[in-house]
Structure 1
Amino acid sequence: MSPFILSDADLAATTELGAKRRERVTVADASGAYAASLIGEYLEARAGGRVDLMGLIRDHAYAIDPELLAELDGFDYPAAA
C-alpha cells in the first residue's frame, strides 16, 4: 500500500483537512500511486538480486493489470536510441 494513502487515511480519521484530502483522491490517483510503488519495489528487488521477490511482485502486478507487467518487463530491454 502506498505510504501516501496510509498517511491520508490517518489524517482523515482525525482532521477536517485530512477528510477533504481523502474526498479529492480519485481511484485513478490511488491506482497510479500503487502502480508506482510496485515499480519501485520491483526495482529495489532487482537491484538486490531478489529473484523470488521479483516473481511475487510480477504475479501481483499481472493480477492487477497485465499492462503493468509489460512495464516491468521493459526494464530488461535497452532504451531505443
Structure 2
Amino acid sequence: RAVYIHCNIAKLQPFIDGSKRTSRMMESIALMNADIIPVYSSRDADILNYRKGQIAFYETENYSPYADYFLNKQVERIKEIE
C-alpha cells in the first residue's frame, strides 16, 4: 500500500513543488498505520536508486524498481537494529 501511494501521488504531480515530499509523507503514514517504521536516506547512492525507481514507474507503471529500493532500505534498517 505504501509503495502504491508513494508512486501514484508523486506521478500525479499535484503540486508545483513538493509532490515527492507529500508522497513520502503519505507513504510514511501508511507504514506507521501498519506499525512499520519509515526509513529514508540522504546518501547519494540511495537518492539515485530512489530516483531510478520513480522514473521507472513514471515510464512503465511498474512498481518493482521502486519496491526493490523501498524493501532494500527496510532490510538495511533491520540489519542495523540487530
TM above 0.5: no
Larger Rg: 1
Structure number with the bigger relative contact order (C-alpha 8 A, sep ≥ 6) is: 2
Q: TM-score, normalised by structure 2?
A: 0.30
